[in-house]
Structure formats: C-alpha cells, structure tokens
Structure 1
Amino acid sequence: MENEIRQDKIVGSRRPSNYFWSFFLFFGGLGFLLAGISSYFKINLLPFANPTELVFIPQGLVMMFYGTLSLGLSIYIIITVLLDIGSGYNEYNRPENLVKIVRKGFPGKNREILLTYPLPNVRAIGIKITEGLNPTTSLYLCLKDKRNIPLSPVQEPTAISKLEEEAADLAKFLDLKLENL
C-alpha cells in the first residue's frame, strides 16, 4: 500500500535567498532611514558616516523614502518566511485515484489551499523550460480541460536533467505521458 501513495514535499518561502534578502534589506533600509533622520535633526545617528552634512530636501527626504520602502519590504519577506507561505506537498494517491495539491497561504479563511483532481481527468505531466535572462524550469499537471497546474515550487532554476528525471519518475508512477509545454 505504501508504494501506491507518493508525497512530494514543497519548500515555501523558507529558502536561503529569502533569509539573505530580508537581512540585507532590513539593515540597508535602517541605514538609509537613519541617514535621512540624521540630515533632518543634524545629529549623527550613524557611527560609520556623517549624514548631518546632507541637505534634508531633497537628499535626506529621498534617503528616508528609500529606507522606509526597504524596511517595509524586508518586514514583508520576514512575515512570509515566518508563516512559511507556499510550503506544502503534492500527494499522488493511486488507490483513491486522486492528486492532492496542498499549500499554505496567508492567514485567513483560506490559509490552507487544497486542490484535488481525479486521476482520470489528468492528461499528462508537462515540463516547461524557458531560457534567457530569467530562466525557469517547471513541472505541471496537465488536465484534460487544457488547464496546467504547477507542481514545482517557485525557486532558483533547477538543472534540466534533474527536472526531466523527476518528471519521468512521476509520469511512470501515475502511468501518464510526458509533454513539453
């Protein structure tokens, strides 16, 4: 029975890149905000620079704006990391003939996102590879009604060979064909 159910874990927003960007944006934004406040009050709040020499309008005001924006963005990223938005799993259940896609969303009545699809409604497993400045590799569940449901998380691009191997393994498990999207 355990070979009849497959569950693939999905990493949400708790990725190393989000930790890096939240740290970088928080301290960078804090520096800009303190520089802007220092230029307004003519009191040096930064130990490594002297922003009191800046003219408040426009330089100090712009630094405060960028600092506030950066702090807001870092707080948003920290909240998504703490709530682990986007994490979950994909479950492929052959005895019940179901595919379940479970993800965590933002707090509220729809915190848990659950999508279920009967296996007879699934046409194929699709692979989409886009190259260029922003390369992406994605795995999709292709339904008979022409919808493509993403199975892979939003992340840094994975190796094409790894994605193809994963897709072939899943298609073999579900007894479906592979498609190039």
Structure 2
Amino acid sequence: MNWRSEHIWIELLKGSRKRGNFFWACILFLGSLGFLAVGASSYLGKNIISVLPSQQILFFPQGVVMSFYGIAGLFISAYLWCTILWNVGSGYDRFDRKEGVVCIFRWGFPGIKRRVFLRFLMRDIQSIRIQVKEGLFPRRILYMEIRGQGAIPLTRTDEKFFTPREIEQKAAELAYFLRIPMEVF
C-alpha cells in the first residue's frame, strides 16, 4: 500500500508476513513432528501414530537420526514462526519534500536494534539506482544513493515480482518525485 500527495510519499512494506512464509512454517512444523514421532516410536518399540509405522526402524542409528531431524526441524520452524510473529522486515519509506527529509523505518529482530530508523536530508540524496542482474536467479533492486552513507536498498532482495519495466517505472517515479537523477547498473 502506498500513499502519495504533492509533498509526501509513503510506501508501506510487508515484511515477513507472507503466504509463502506461513506455508513453509506449517510444512516444516508438521514434517518435523512426523520425524520426531517416528524417532520416539522406534525408541518405545510401538507405533505412536498408526500412519507412520516404525517397527522396521531400529532406534540406533535410524531412530536417533530421525529424532535429531525432528528436533532440528522444530527449531527452524520456531524461528520461522518468530519472524512471522515479529513481522521482521516490515516498515515504511517516507519521502517528505516539504520538510526535505527522507525517513526509512524497518522492524528487526527483538533486542537493542529492533527498530531501524534512518533519517536523511533530501539534499544528501545523490541518485536513485537500479541494479539489474538477469539470468537463472534474476535480481532487480532499487537503491537510494546517499552522500557519505553509500547505497541503501529500498526494495527487498527477494522480491521477484518486479519486471524490468515495473522496477524502472518505480525508480523513475521516485526520482521524479525527489527531483534527483536515476542510474541503472
């Protein structure tokens, strides 16, 4: 969702609460529970879940390995669910021509630097830069070049829905709004 007026442009970013993340967190959780159930069944010598027969699996070494995979999967699943719960990567980009300020805000992982808030003066922005890498794994990233700070990414690196035309259109609109040049690399 974006909001624009004559002097202010606010762009909201989604973060980690995406359908794909929910899907993989659920699949990983259920799969790791299955591995853990088979490992526990082989240890106990009886089926905990009738769908997953474990009479042919010896506890050592197969049951131990299955239990290890189940526990590891639960940890990775917990990590994914935490990133979804905390909505890591969400935030906004705010460009205010009236005040001459650009604010970039992102949520991170809990801790001292949970809130990432960057604030720049518009006169320090040198250009809007597009980095395009085509091939098997294409990358199209929009950067804002800041004097003395380097390049700050404005789009996520995993956003694959941008076609070259869409990323160029977005960069051109932003460069026009900020009244700065646009570069393509």
- Name the TM tier (shorter chain): over 0.9
Aligned ranges for residues 1-181 of structure 1 at < 5 Å?
A: 2-145=5-148, 147-157=150-160, 158-181=162-185
Question: Unaligned 5+ residue runs, structure 1?
Answer: none
For residue 173 of structure 1, give the secondary structure of its aligned residue in structure 2. Answer: helix
- Contact conserved, 2:14 with 2:89, CA < 8 A, in 1? yes
Structure with the higher fraction of residues in helix conformation: 1
- Contact conserved, 1:12 with 1:87, CA < 8 A, in 2? yes
- Contact conserved, 1:29 with 1:71, CA < 8 A, in 2? yes
Deviations 1:21-78 (A, max 9, x none): 1011000011011111111111211221211320111111111111111111111111
* TM-score, structure 1 as length reference: 0.94
Runs of 4+ in 1 over 3 A off after TM superposition: none
- Identical residues among aligned pairs (%): 38
- Contact conserved, 2:140 with 2:157, CA < 8 A, in 1? no
TM superposition shift of 1:107: 2.1
Q: Measure the CA separation in 1 of the matches of 2:157 and 2:55.
A: 43
Deviations 1:59-100 (A, max 9, x none): 111111111111111111111111111100000011111111
Q: Measure the CA separation in 1 of the matches of 2:66 and 2:139.
A: 35
For residue 45 of structure 1, give the secondary structure of its aligned residue in structure 2. Answer: coil
Q: Measure the CA separation in 2 of the matches of 1:132 and 1:51.
A: 45
Query: What is the alpha-carbon root mean square deviation over aligned residues?
Result: 1.6
Q: Measure the CA separation in 2 of the matches of 1:174 and 1:168.
A: 10
- Contact conserved, 1:11 with 1:153, CA < 8 A, in 2? no
Q: Measure the CA separation in 1 of the matches of 2:164 and 2:48.
A: 50
For residue 119 of structure 2, give the secondary structure of its aligned residue in structure 1. Answer: strand
Instruction: Report how many residues are paired.
Output: 181
TM superposition shift of 1:146: 6.2
- Contact conserved, 1:29 with 1:67, CA < 8 A, in 2? yes
